[in-house]
Structure 1
Amino acid sequence: MSGHGHGHGHGHSCECEHEPAERGLEFGLYRRIDLDKLQVLNESRDGDGRKVFKPWEQRTERNQFVESDADEELLFNIPFTGSVKLKGVIISGEDDDSHPAEIRLFKNIPQMSFDDTGREPEQAFRLNRDPTAELEYPTKVARFSSVHHLSIHISKNFGADSTRVYYIGLRGEYSEAYRHEVTICNYESAANPADHKVESIIPQSNMIS
């Protein structure tokens, strides 16, 4: 399986030289993340995890990264501001044993904890070392067609005490999630005529007394 993902990544990286602008747009889902609610468990320094979600053209920069704390595991809880169809993932780390070796993807489990990682993931990948952020791991799109919240569990690295990540790229499509909120507002305004029901009940209660 990992060989297939590896080959896919190289195929895309070759095409990327001819259409870098389009490639960057495809990996624009980082702009659809609700960063205020993004949560990273077992990060060694609070707030570092959100910094690895950045523009395509910054994917090889090394000035910002997240490192695991107690052991090699990291868990990213990523809420989106709408509905996402996730098509691919890139994970870039250091060119050493601290690079993630396996990721497990979970869909729509807000506030996921390490206690929840024992369940079956939507999809899992064995990773190759990718310090230049070139290798894409294509998802089974049918399983990731209505994603409001994505959890990425880095379950192991290549043998180091801690894991370091520089870039996480998410490729896919995004759609707004406003229609449901508008519907709720309509229901609230439609509930106002309930005042008439109260008026009709009052005379009846007077008659009883």
Structure 2
Amino acid sequence: MAHQCSCGDTHNDAELGVEYNLYQKIDIRNVECLNEYEENSGITVFKSWENRLDKENFVESDVDDELLFNIPFTGNIKLKGLIIIGGENNLHPNKVKLYKNRPRMTFDDLSIEPEQEFELCVDANGIHEYSPKIVKFSSVHHLSLHFTGIDRRERIKIYYIGLKGEWLPAHRHGVTICSYELQPQMSDYPKENIENIDRTIS
């Protein structure tokens, strides 16, 4: 089915539902959302494509119009697409900045240059895709998203964050413990060799 968002283009959502499944690869218990008005409401915006239009679950900012998500994954992802459904009217976020592999970011860390940023359009149907540069987001184990509002409004609201891409399990390297002896020990030699050495010395 075709829909139109505020960007002026018409989008078809026929195949998007199959592709937007990376929410299943998020380490959801370790997701952080800073400046959320209601505790643990940030994790509710990562949901299935079929539930993206659900308005019962959302996150709203607290003291100002900023939200910062720290999103760890259960492996490595190649991020290929991003969809945002924001709040109505002035509650809609205006911009998002993407940071790669910087766990536990805080608002104090936002002076760092993001890998990419997008101006957000109003997209009530969740069909406008933002395309990250794959060369920058080809090996991501942690993604931080910083949202800000329009003209520094008091609050912003988000209903859905959709992520599209590929997932690979994390490589786990075993630890090999080796011990080295600087000098050979007498116990390393057979008993008969030790007796021969003693005879030679005497």
Aligned position for 2:35 = 42
Per the alignment, do residues 102 and 202 of structure 1 end up closer, same or farther by CA in structure 2, a change over 3 Å counting?
A: farther
Seen in structure 2, the aligned counterparts of structure 1 residues 83 and 6 have a Cα distance that, compared at 3 Å, is farther
Asked if the contact 1:95/1:130 (under 8 Å) is kept, the reply is no
Given candidates 78, 85, 88, the residue that maps to 1:85 is 78
Work out whether 1:126 is the aligned partner of 2:130.
no
* Greater Rg by CA: 2
Quick check: 2:148–2:156 contact (8 Å CA) kept in 1? Answer: no
Query: TM-score, length-normalised on structure 1?
Result: 0.80
Trace 1:57-136 onto structure 2 (pairs within 5 A). Answer: 57-136=50-129
CA contact 1:100–1:158 (8 Å) conserved in 2: no
Distance in 1, matches of 2:106 and 2:17, equals 31
CA shift in 2, pair 1:63/1:203, >3 Å: same
- Closer, same or farther: CA 202–76 of 1 in aligned 2, 3 Å: farther
Separation in structure 2 between the aligned mates of residue 115 and residue 200 of structure 1, nearest angstrom: 56
Aligned to 1:26: 19
1:173 match: 166
Q: CA deviation at 1:198?
A: 9.8
Structure 1 position 202, deviation (Å): 8.6
**Which amino acid in structure 2 is aligned with residue 149 of structure 1?**
H
Specify the SS of the correspondent of 1:139: coil
RMSD of aligned Cα (Å): 2.4
1:131 deviation in Å? 1.9
Distance 1:75 1:109 in 2: 12
> Equivalent residue of 1:36, what SS?
helix
Unaligned runs of 5+ residues in structure 1 are 205-209
Given the superposition, is the C-alpha separation of residues 201 and 68 from structure 1 closer, same or farther in structure 2, using an over 3 Å criterion? farther
Aligned 8 A contact 2:149 2:155 in 1: no
Aligned residues: 183
Cα pair distance change 1:198/1:55, threshold 3 Å = farther
The structure-2 alpha-carbon separation of the partners of 1:88 and 1:158, relative to structure 1 and needing over 3 Å to count, comes to farther
Q: Deviations over 1:133-157 (max 9, x none)?
A: 1211111111100001000000223
Higher helix share: 1
**2:169 and 2:149 mapped to 1: Cα distance?**
34
TM-score of the two chains, using structure 2 as the length reference: 0.82
